[in-house]
Amino acid sequence: MEVISLNTKIERSETTITKLRAHIKDGTCPKTLRYNVRANITPDEQFKKEIGSIRKTAKHEFIRSLAKFHQRRIEHLQSKCTKVEQELSREKTETNAFQTRKSRTPSAPRDENIHMSTDVLQLASNIQAKIDKFTQLLSKIDDSKNKQSESYPSVLYASKGEREKGTKRNTLTVRNHKRRARKKNLQQRTSRETIELRKQHIKNLSDTQLTAEQISLLSRGLKFIPTPVMKENQIRRQLLSDFNQFARRMRLQYIYHDQNTEQHPFHVKSSWIPPIQRSVALETYLEEVKIKLAETPLVKPKNNLPPGEQRALKELINNKEIILKKADKGTTTVVMNRENKINEGQIQLDDRNNYQQLDKPIVRDTFQRVKHLINTLRQAGCIDEMTAKWFNQTPDPPRIPVFYTLTKIHKPTLVGRPIISGCDGPTERLSSFVDKLLQPIAQIQESYLKDTTHFIRFIESIRVPRNAFLVSMDVTSLYTNIPQEEGITIVCNAYENFHAQKPPIATKFLREMLSLILKENSFQFNGKNYLQTHGTAMGTKMAVAFANIFMASIEKEILRRSVNKPLTWKRFIDDVFCLWDTNKEEIEHFVEQANSYHPTIKFTAEVSQLETTFLDTTVYKGERFEKESILDVRTHYKPTETFQYTNYNSCHPAGVKKGFVKGEALRLLRTNSSKVMFEENIKNFRTRLTSRGYPNNLVDKIISEVKFAERKNALTQTQKARKRILPFVTQFHPSLPCLKNTFQS
């Protein structure tokens, strides 16, 4: 029996050596022998190559060492087997001698050891037969030249499963059933918890009961892009069409490379196609790239929506009883009954002080007045030929603007913020032109704040008295409460003061433009036509600059009339931040006086000695205030914010996702003056990203870059140098591989 055991071990070791040698020959490695190491750093490409080389060498050396080990084991077992066979041979000799003596002495008593020796001989004969059989089997294995890569455990324990049949198999079956039952219960519990978490991203104000699949789909966000369905020939056709545009730009760059590259502010794209150039290098490059693009292999992308959510998407599209919109503040998805959404907008449009219902659309008449004004400006020499061409790009007939609302879910009573989408409308380009004229005037105002970064730089550059009050003020519905005629007059006066010498266009033309934009702002809602008679529309391009100039005039008069004035007064459109070195009663009296100055412009105020909220920051008296009398800032989130970031599985280009992560991380760096607060916010940000499907290694790599960046550099807005590059722009599709190497090779 010992010989059988030894030969079985020899058989296993020889089989193992055969398989290991096959792995060495094929350059593969069993799963359990693979060497893997992860450094606690962000590796570069050179480090990855070096680690890969080390890993490959380690795998091969380990397999060779293991093969040598099994070879030594075989030699040891063979020597041991030889000793056993020698003992068996000696025992056989002694048995034969004993039988000879027994034949000579027939009267000798019968010994039981004789039978034992006979059994041993029979066993040895069987062993020899099995050894011969195993030898033949090993020769067949060696001659088969099996190149298939197998896992190491299957090499060593190929017959283990056969030996463990019977009781163990039944036991394992029972265990597997229990394990599967526990797994199913865990999945169900996890599914319920996941649904409750996903509901946080959705505000269902409708009568429709959303299914689990619909909740899961909507929690991905309204910006989620499902995998597009396109045929391979369509993708290649689009790719080559985009390349033709790239080749056109390359040839234009070759022709006009030595000319002034400064672009006209109202540039109109030319449709001229340059011929093939004499440059052999250029044309050879374009031809080779085109061939490579035509031969680019495409991969079939995996659908980023499971079947249940695909059905849910069709159901929501076909459901005409509900409307899906994002909330006014934050990223929450609001689900409302169509009827309720229409009533939300109709309540505002029924206000006859601000809106007037029309019998028919007037966009055609407005468009004709705009064309007449443009011709007048061209004849008067106020605009050049290129600007006139740019104005004429407006579609004829123009698109009728559309009115819609964004629900303010943070209000006790649900109301909507009115927005008018004027894309391709009769006054869209006129509004862009006026915005170009008004922006410099708005930016020179003493209280002007460009953005949050501008505010942080200001607040961290001043010293604040010990007992100062922090006050944030807000104008109620500024855009819709600006009187049109008064606003036009204020803006025109500011325009004349700014251009005291030679204005770009005459003031009368500016007034006419403003009148067309404000007083002929017509739109459609629910199949009806309306005209805005008061205020300016949120959605028109010049509204921000117009409101800034108007508020600058109002605040100057308020501050001039006030006996008690704030230490600082800074404003971002309708949000005001100020510091007061007085008591709270005088501040409240100032707010009352400000509200009594203008009939439609009303303020709300938040007063505190410790902290206040302004824009997306919380300004507070922290550690720096105790030492240097400088206020600290930290990131502020609205109570309705649900952090519905762009889902990683969305069919967006990878650069968009990376850019968002880096941009948000830099924002956290800017809006947190304390290192501790920044670390806390960046940790929470990382958790939210991973919950939206972002890989840990991608998030850690980008965040580590921001962590080691200097905050003062993030707060400094430097003008980037323009790179002389021509980008290849094409429609993104997940089937396309990275084309960078195609253009750089």
Task: Please report how the helices 543-561 and 428-443 are oriented relative to each other, as an axis angle in degrees rounded to 10.
Answer: 40
Type of residue at 491: V
Type of residue at 145: K
Whole-angstrom distance, CA of residue 462 vs CA of residue 482: 33
pLDDT at 4: 64
pLDDT at 115: 45
Whole-angstrom distance, CA of residue 64 vs CA of residue 70: 10
Whole-angstrom distance, CA of residue 594 vs CA of residue 558: 6
> Distances in Å between the alpha carbon of 156 and those of 9, 13, 144, 738?
10, 8, 19, 43
Do residues 394 and 424 lie in contact, with contact meaning Cβ atoms separated by under 8 Å? Answer: yes
For the chain, counts of helices (H) and of strands (E): 25, 15
pTM score of the predicted model: 0.72
**Average confidence (pLDDT) per 10 residues, the chain, 745 residues:** 67 78 73 61 72 76 78 79 75 64 48 48 65 59 44 40 50 73 64 70 88 90 90 89 92 84 82 89 92 88 90 92 88 90 91 91 93 93 91 90 88 82 91 94 93 93 91 92 94 92 90 94 93 87 94 93 91 93 91 92 92 93 90 91 89 92 94 93 93 92 90 80 78 87 80
Whole-angstrom distance, CA of residue 670 vs CA of residue 677: 11
pLDDT at 136: 62
Closest CA relative to residue 553, chosen from 470, 507, 495, 476: 495
pLDDT at 198: 77
Do residues 60 and 99 lie in contact, with contact meaning Cβ atoms separated by under 8 Å? Answer: no
Whole-angstrom distance, CA of residue 9 vs CA of residue 66: 15
pLDDT at 116: 45
Residue with tokens 């061409």: 389
